[in-house]
Every structure is written in C-alpha cells, then in structure tokens.
Homo-oligomer: A and B are copies of this chain.
Amino acid sequence: MTDSTPLPPVSPPGHRGPPDHERRQQIIQAAEAHFRHYGFGKTTVADLARAIGLSTAYIYKFFDSKRAIGEAVCSLVLSRVLDRARAIAAESGPAAQRLRRLFTAMAEISLEQYFHERRLHDMAVTACTDRWQSVADYDQRLQAILSTLIRDGRDSGEFEGRTPLEETSLAITLAMASFLHPLILEERRDQALSDAALLAGLVLRSLAP
C-alpha cells in the first residue's frame, strides 16, 4: 500500500463491476449517442449491445438496469451544464451581474436543448418525473455553485450576510425550478428568458444588504 494509491472510487448507484472499465465507457458513449437520436424510451439495451458488439447480458455486468444507464448519461450531460454554470459564476465582476448572467445562461442552455436536442429534453423530463438520482445530484451541485457565488457577494459587501448561506442557496435553487424544470420550460418556452430575468431580479432583491 504505497502513499500514491488513491482510495477506490465510490460507484454511483446502479453501477456493477469495476468502476473504471473500458466497456463501461463504451456503453455510456453508445447510450449517449442513441439517447440523443432515438430518445431514452425508444432505445433498447439490445441496440446498445449491438452497437458495441456485445450481448445484452454483458451490459448488465456493468449496469444493473436500463435506468442506471440513463442515469449515467444524464449525469454526464448535466455535468457539462454545471461546468458552464461554474465558469460563469467564477468570472470576474460584481456578483450580482454574475448571478444575472447565470440565470440567463441556464435558461438559454435549457431552451437550446429543448429546441435542438428534443430527445435529451424528453429524457430530462423522465428523469425529473421519475425522480432520478442524477437530478438530485445536479440540484445539489447547482446549489453549491450558487453558494460560492453568494459567498463572493457577501465578501464584497454586495449581498446581505444575515440569512444562513445554506438556506439562501437552497431557496434560490428551488426558485430556479420555475423556469428551469423541463416541463415548465416546455409550457412557458416563449417567456423563459423573461421569466429568468424576472426571477434574477427577485433573487437579487432578496440578497440585497
């Protein structure tokens, strides 16, 4: 046991077999391509197996269910969104301005997905409706990004510091659902950007010192 041996990574729920395995990456890759093109529901595990050149039984050595594959792909896609959110939140300039830009960008990314990646959007709907773990994880990570941004604002004196940070960031994450939840986004797509701006305004007023 040398000092350079990392601890074994904790596998996400639904993962089987060794966490770092080429076949798993191939499955996720094939799954992402198929889900983007055909949608989650229309893609069969057999399609994925065929695309890789395996049997469906072998797929189940790596994921315990079709849903687990969906969760893995969903996590991957959402982590790209979060990377962009993190980048915006980490920009220089007033925290309030960054928060506005974050709200607008999140709305734009979601609309882009709705209009140009409809199958991925529909998969997001399924993930929310069926309460996939990847959605809960995403919410937590978004909240962490907001916490960091708010802490910046507090440090610079832009934002109030009385309310517990956890409560503030949780409430803001929650409020963001009113324009980011995929089903609401679908219903209110024509107003999504103005909704985002309105809510950013309300949130910034709530953060005012």
Contact = CB atoms under 8 A, between A and B. Distances in A.
Interface of A: 128-129, 131, 160, 163, 167-168, 170-172, 174-179, 181, 183-184, 187, 195, 198-199, 201-203, 205-208
A179 B171 CA distance: 11
A39 to B, nearest CB: 18
Contacts of A178: 174-178, 181
9 contacts: A129-B183, A163-B205, A167-B198, A174-B178, A177-B178, A178-B178, A183-B184, A184-B184, A208-B208
Majority DSSP secondary structure for residues of A touching B: helix
Contact of A201 (B171, B187, B205): B171
B187 A170 contact: no
Contacts of A175: 175, 178, 199, 202
A207 B168 CA distance: 15
Contacts of A207: 205
B203 A174 contact: no
A94 to B, nearest CB: 18
Nearest to A130: B187
A68 B187 CA distance: 19
A96 B128 CA distance: 32
